[in-house]
Structure formats: C-alpha cells, structure tokens
Amino acid sequence: MSAVVGEHHDDHHHGPAKGLTRWIFTTNHKDIGSMYLWFSFIMFLIGGSMALVIRAELFEPGMQIVVPGFFNQMTTMHGLIMVFGAVMPAFVGLANWLVPMMVGAPDMALPRMNNWSFWILPFAFTLLLSSLFMEGGAPNFGWTFYAPLSTTYAPPSVTFFIFGVHMMGISSIMGAINVIATILNLRAPGMTLMKMPLFVWTWLITAFLLIAVMPVLAGVVTMMLMDIHFGTSFFSAAGGGDPVLFQHVFWFFGHPEVYIMILPAFGVASQIIPTFSRKKLFGYPSMVYATASIAVLSFIVWAHHMFAVGLPLAGELFFMYATMLIAVPTGVKVFNWVSTMFRGSLTFETPMLFAIAFVILFTIGGFSGLMLAIAPVDFQYHDTYFVVAHFHYVLVPGAIFSIFAAAYYWLPKWTGHMYDEALGKAHFWLSFIGLNMTFFPMHFVGLAGMPRRIPDYAMQFADFNRISSMGAFLFGVTQLLFLFIVLKCIRGGKQATAQVWEGAEGLEWTLPSPAPYHSFTEPPQVK
C-alpha cells in the first residue's frame, strides 16, 4: 500500500478536475448531485413552457394558438417531462448531495455507476424531445399512454418514446441501487437505522419502490414495442389481446410512482419543520412506520385509477377500501408535522414557508384524493379537471414546493453563501398565489363537468379557465426569479456558518460551509 501511495505524490490533492472533463468524468456525489439538480431545473422550464402553451390555448373557448393534435402532444410531453425529467431527477439530485453527508459517508457507495445513471438522462430526454420535430409529431396519447391509442393509433415517434422510457428506467434503477447501497453500507458508526434522518429513511423506501416498479414500466413499454413492430397483440382486442391489461400493468407501476415522487418530499418536510420550530420532530418512529405503510399500500391500490373501466363489483370494493386506508398513515404524518410546530419556537425563513405551504396544500390534495377514492363518486370525478386539480395539488405544492424548500434550506451548505432572503420570500409568495390561482379553480370546472385533456371547452367553463391561465403565467414567470436567486447565491452573499440554521441538527451541519469536496474522510461518531 505504501509503495502505491509513494508513486502518487499528489494523493492528498482531492479537489475537482478542471474544465468540462470534471463534469463528464466526475464520480463525486456533489458534482453529480448538482448536475441532476440543474438538469431537472432545465426540464422543469421546458415542461413548464409546454404547460403555458396548454394554458394559453385554454385561456378562452375556441381554437386560437395550436391545433388539437399539437395540443395533445403538449399535454403528453408536459406530463412525461415533469414526472420523469423534473421531479424524479431533482429528488435523485438531492439524495446525491445529502445522503452521504447525512449518514457520515465520504461519497456514494457506487460512484462510477452514479456517473453513468446521470449521464443516461440527457440522452434519454434528447431522444424524447427530438420526437417533437419528427414527421407525425411527438407522442400525443397522454403521459399514461393507454393502448391502443399508443400502439395501433400512435404516431411513428412512439418508438423513440419507448426507448427514452427504457433509458430513464435504467437510470432510475441504478440511482436507486446506489442510494440503497450507500445507506445500508456507509453509515457512520453508531448511526442505527432508527437514528437516520427522515430524509434518508424516505429515500431508502423510495429506492425500493423504484427497483420494484421501474422494471414493470419497462415491461409494459416493451409489450407496446412488440405490438407495434413485431405483430404481437398484447393490447389489441382484434388479435385476442386486452386493452385493459395495459392499464393494469401501467398503474401497477404508476401508483407506486406517485409515492416515489412524494415520499422524499415527506422527508424534506420532516427535516425542515423541526429546524424552524426549534423542536424535535414529533413521533419519529411513527413517521418511519407511516412511510413504510404508505409504500406497502401503494402496491395494492392501482386499480383506483380504473374505476370506470368496468371492473367487477368485488374489485371496485377492494380497491376502494385499500385506497381509503392510505389516508390513515398519511394523516399520521400530517398530524406529526403539526404537532412538531405546536408549542415550538417558530421562525419563517423561506424553507419554512415552503414547508408549511407544502403541509397545507398537500393536505388539500390529500382530501381530494380521499374523495376520489370513493368509487361511486369517482364516476363523476374520473378524467375531469377535478383529477387534474387533485394531482397538481399533490405534485406542485407537494413535490415541487418541497424541492424548493430543500434548495433554500441546503443552498448555504452547498455554496457557502446565504441566499437573498427577501427575494426568496418573494419567490415563495408569488409561487403560492400563482399556483392556487392556477389549480384551485380546476376543482370547480371539474365538478361542473369539464373533461381533462381537451383543447377547447363549452362556454360555461370559460371564466375559471381564464383565471387558471393567468395564474399559470404568474407561476411560470416567477420561476425565473428562482433561477436568479440561485445564481446570485452561488456567486456570492453573506458567508454561511457550518450550522447555518439555529435549530438545525444532523451530520451535514457539522461540515463546514461550503461542504468539502469529499464529505467525511474520517467517519464521525454518532451517539
């Protein structure tokens, strides 16, 4: 060993490489985490621009800006890009940055695979986005790509979509393996599982969900590929296949996928709320058990997305009861967050504002989710704007607000500088107003009977749609402010202390700000 060290006299220089190769060849969890976060922000802007095309067309009745076929491409690509390009990579980016620092490890357990799992993504999304310029246009069958619309009746670009999804799946699975390997193997001495920060716990459970369901997604798109190019009839009734089978397989992936996008958000809120309440998280063990219960239940509720396909009565009842059960552990989490705030000593910095809004608005999304679980009533809600309102309430102020909260909370640790608090608060309030303006009226038009995924609508829905469109533009433009705040924070600002926040607890706050290139070269002791 000593002979080897002797030959590498620059062995103690552990800084990053210079130039472009630093980013292409890096195996450093911070570099890769940053790339994931930047990538997801770019995708967030692209997917968001598509949402603005949709909202501009829906600003008033009649077809004004796009044709119906292109409108369908926009709804499809918006969904795919936001789910697979914005939310999921953002959480992987957070995991990359934070998990090693939180468990007291020097880096991720499998750094080369880490590099690869990131670098697949730009290629996957280039492939997907390139379909916009192909003959016949981009995928236009909705992000849920129900067969046979996505097979027999799909544009030729569906094949590119399928390969894109395969690549995203490979990337996600490798990312998940890495997270599990890091958490299970690289924890500092003394950090038992039940002492791990909740963000680490939620990501551990999320990673298992990813490994369980991404192969199912790969399976369903492969069956599509076979139907389209190799003459099989998995989903074609004319050939003895079954279009409903597609939905069962898709939602067996799709429902756990929903929790893949929200469990890490629970973790973020569980880190931030105690810090700014200056009080320990209430009911830590029950938080862990609730997260695990939600993950387990997520595998037996998939058909609640399919109440209208004509399931037998027994099936409807089973999936209705199972879905309602999810309200119990989710309720426990909300009660615990509120109890953490109760009798604390609260301050309201930007991360806390986003976290509080997360709890309130996610709970509203949870309420509409509970309503959707009631099968007989779901016949009136299903595939209307009520559903659009529901899942945007759990995804935008749910997943995306928690990502903003996380960014503000850990930015000082990442950059060494405090962000501009006044601008951060402005970003929060404009986003908060914009998103509620956009999504709250969707509950109303949905209940009044407006189906989703339509490029034009009857006159009675005009007023609320107009409000939604104005809110969407406010929300969209506000996100450029976030970009400005982050760039400003990277370039300079008040020097951040190691602790950063008065009430912050955890190993990452024992490192200096900015955190050193290799997090813990000596394992810290956890009492």
Q: What are phi and psi of 304, to 5 degrees?
A: -70, -10
Strand (E) or helix (H) holding 219: helix 198-229
Question: Could you say which of 34, 76, 157, 171 is catalytic?
Answer: 171
What are phi and psi for residue 283, nearest 5 degrees? 65, 50
Distance, CA of 130 to CA of 446 (rounded, Å): 33
CB of 429 to another protein, least distance (A): 15
Residue 280 binds another protein, judged by CB under 8 A: yes
Question: Minimal distance in Å, beta carbon 433 to another protein?
Answer: 15
Sole window of 10-18, 342-350, 405-413, 415-423 interacting with another protein (rule: CB under 8 A): 342-350
For the record, the structure tokens of 183 come out as 């958490």
Query: In this complex, which beta carbon is closest to another protein, that of residue 63 or of residue 193?
Result: 63
Of 348-407, binders to another protein (CB under 8 A) are 348, 356, 359-360, 363-364, 367, 370-371, 374-377, 379-380, 382-384
CA pair distance 301, 255, nearest whole angstrom: 7
User: From the list 17, 184, 193, 237, which residue makes contact with another protein (rule: CB under 8 A)?
Assistant: 237
Q: How far is the CB of 238 from another protein (least distance, A)?
A: 7
Residue selected from 164, 197, 412, 455 as contacting another protein according to rule CB under 8 A: 455
Instruction: Classify residue 408 by burial, with Cβ atoms within 10 Å: 0-12, 13-18, 19+.
Output: buried
Q: Which is the catalytic residue, given 40, 172, 368, 384?
A: 172
Among residues 466 and 518, whose Cβ is nearest to another protein?
466
Query: Does the annotation count 330 as an active-site position?
Result: yes
Does 454 interact with another protein (rule: CB under 8 A)?
yes
Q: Which of 172, 275, 277, 436 binds another protein (CB under 8 A)?
A: 277
The pair of structure tokens assigned to 246 is: 């597609």
Interacting residues with another protein between 20 and 59 (CB under 8 A): 56, 59
Q: How far is the CB of 473 from another protein (least distance, A)?
A: 6
Residue 107 falls in the annotated catalytic set: yes
Task: Please give the residues from 184 up to 213 whose contact with another protein meets the rule CB under 8 A.
Answer: none
The residue with tokens 């595998």 is 299
| CB closer to another protein out of 211 and 370 | 370
Minimum separation from the CB atom of position 286 to another protein (A) = 5
Give 141's contacts (C-beta < 8 A, 6+ positions apart).
Answer: 72, 76, 149, 150, 153, 154, 158
Indicate left, alpha or beta for 231 from its phi (over 0: left) and psi (-120 to 50: alpha): left
* Other residues' Cβ atoms within 10 Å of the Cβ of residue 229: 11
Instruction: Determine whether 402 is an active site residue.
Output: no
Sequence-separated (6 or more) residues with CB below 8 Å from residue 479? 44, 45, 48, 431
What secondary structure does DSSP assign to 268-287, as a single string? HHHHHHHHHHTSPPTTHHHH
Residues of span 59-88 touching another protein by CB under 8 A: 59-65, 68-69, 72
Residue 343 annotated in active site:
no
Catalytic pick among 23, 116, 143, 517 = 143
DSSP state of 525: P
Q: How far is CA 102 from CA 94, 416, 522, in A?
A: 11, 17, 14
Shortest distance in whole angstroms from residue 119 CB to another protein: 33
The 127-166 site mask, x for binding another protein (CB under 8 A), equals --------xx---xxx---x-xx--xx-xx----------
For the question of residue 382 being annotated catalytic, the response is no
Give the shortest CB-360-to-another protein separation in angstroms.
6
458 binds another protein (CB under 8 A): yes
d(CA 78, CA 72): 10
- Tokens 């640790």 locate to 413
Q: Which of 30, 55, 187, 305 is catalytic?
A: 305
In the chain the first and final C-alpha atoms are separated, in Å, by: 32
Rounded CA separation 522/243 (Å): 56
Q: Where are the beta strands (DSSP E) in 359-505?
A: none
* 390 tagged catalytic: no
Number of residues that bind another protein (CB under 8 A): 106
Q: At closest approach, how far in Å is the CB of 402 from another protein?
A: 17
The residues annotated as belonging to the active site are: 78, 107, 143, 171-172, 255, 257, 259, 270, 304-305, 330, 333, 452
